[in-house]
């Protein structure tokens, strides 16, 4: 007896900005949204810890092709740090490893926060999805194994104290890709001499998108029709507006679609090796390309085919 054929999902393209709820992994949130849309293909960009909430871009269909390019966007967070208690993970999901009395002043806090502004190298935490020899670090951490990690160049553009009640620091952090808020909380606590860990984390911005652009899973479930749900999707090219745009004649666009590089006057002013959004003069979004050393426009990731 043959097995029943798996039902294929719908071919849906676009990006959804989800306000991820707390207590749910990014992948769990993705799978739930995928089921709501009945989509056949989906992926997320810039995952959030289960503890965290806020802006989580979900890509459907062809838009999954841009996921890796969207990860380069700067991020903004609202975070609460509980002082006096340190955990092995740097957040409230970890095991308490040390408790100390809190003896800090507002002046000390301001001085410490100043240290973490600007560019520097940050060592990723063991409780992270970064892989070493094919193994996610968090799996090693759960076994009590700690390995050496390489530092990553990161930048903190803005770090402000929003509130302080002698035990909890409420901060706003604007930072580059690859920055770990849990490490920041741990290092701030260490610098203040009392330890600390994240008890609340909300991503309020990612690239050009803000929390006000997001929807919740509950709202998605409340919509009666597929058309209503799909109206919330952002077209692929609108998620890439941080890359410069070039418009090309239809005859040249045809070469790019076939995977061939071209020369065009439209490349004037473009920066070598910088990603660009490519359109035909008929308004069709072709995909992403780059400008080579020879001055040719090279297709990188196409959204249309022959």
Neighbours of 135 (CB within 10 A): 12
124 neighbors 149 (Cβ within 8 angstroms): yes
The radius of gyration of the chain from alpha carbons, rounded to an integer in Å, stands at: 23
Q: CA–CA separation, 126 vs 182, rounded Å?
A: 11
Matching residue, tokens 């992270």: 128
Tell me whether residue 49 is one of the annotated catalytic residues.
yes
Contacts of 158 (CB under 8 A, 6+ apart): 117, 172, 173, 174
Q: How far is residue 278's CA from residue 256's CA, in Å, rounded to a whole number? A: 9
CB 150 within 8 A of CB 131: no
Q: Which of 19, 49, 88, 91 is catalytic?
A: 49
Given phi > 0 = left and psi -120 to 50 = alpha, else beta, which region is 75? Answer: beta
**What are residue 287's DSSP bridge partners?**
278, 302
What are 15's two structure tokens?
């990006």
Distance CA 210, CA 207 (A): 8
Q: In angstroms, rounded to a whole number, what is the distance separating the alpha carbons of residues 72 and 155?
A: 13
Q: How far apart are CA 125 and CA 138, in angstroms?
A: 9
DSSP state of 51: T
Catalytic residue annotation: 49
């Amino acid at each position: 007896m043959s097995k029943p054929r798996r039902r294929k999902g719908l071919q849906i393209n676009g990006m959804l900005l989800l306000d991820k709820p707390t207590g749910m992994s990014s992948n769990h949130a993705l799978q739930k949204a995928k089921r709501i849309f009945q989509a056949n293909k989906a992926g997320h960009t810039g995952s959030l810890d289960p503890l965290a909430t806020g802006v989580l871009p979900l890509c459907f269909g062809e838009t999954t092709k841009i996921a890796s390019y969207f990860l380069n966007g700067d991020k903004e967070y609202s975070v609460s740090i509980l002082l006096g208690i340190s955990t092995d993970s740097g957040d409230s999901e970890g095991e308490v490893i040390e408790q100390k009395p809190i003896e800090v002043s507002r002046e000390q806090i301001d001085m410490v926060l100043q240290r973490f502004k600007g560019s520097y190298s940050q060592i990723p935490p063991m409780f992270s999805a970064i892989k070493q020899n094919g193994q996610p670090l968090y799996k090693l951490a759960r076994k009590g194994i700690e390995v050496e990690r390489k530092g990553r160049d990161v930048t903190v553009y803005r770090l402000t104290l929003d509130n302080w009640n002698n035990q909890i620091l409420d901060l706003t952090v604007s930072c580059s890709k690859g920055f770990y808020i849990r490490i920041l909380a741990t290092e701030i606590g260490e610098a203040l001499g009392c330890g600390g860990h994240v008890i609340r984390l909300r991503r309020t911005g990612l690239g050009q998108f803000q929390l006000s652009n997001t929807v919740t899973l509950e709202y998605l479930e409340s919509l009666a029709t597929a058309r209503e749900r799909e109206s919330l999707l952002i077209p692929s090219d609108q998620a890439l507006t941080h890359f410069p745009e070039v418009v090309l004649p239809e005859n040249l666009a045809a070469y790019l679609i076939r995977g061939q590089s071209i020369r065009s006057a439209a490349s004037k002013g473009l920066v070598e090796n910088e990603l660009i959004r490519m359109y035909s003069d008929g308004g069709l979004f072709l995909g992403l390309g780059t400008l080579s050393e020879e001055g040719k426009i090279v297709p990188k990731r196409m959204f249309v085919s022959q």
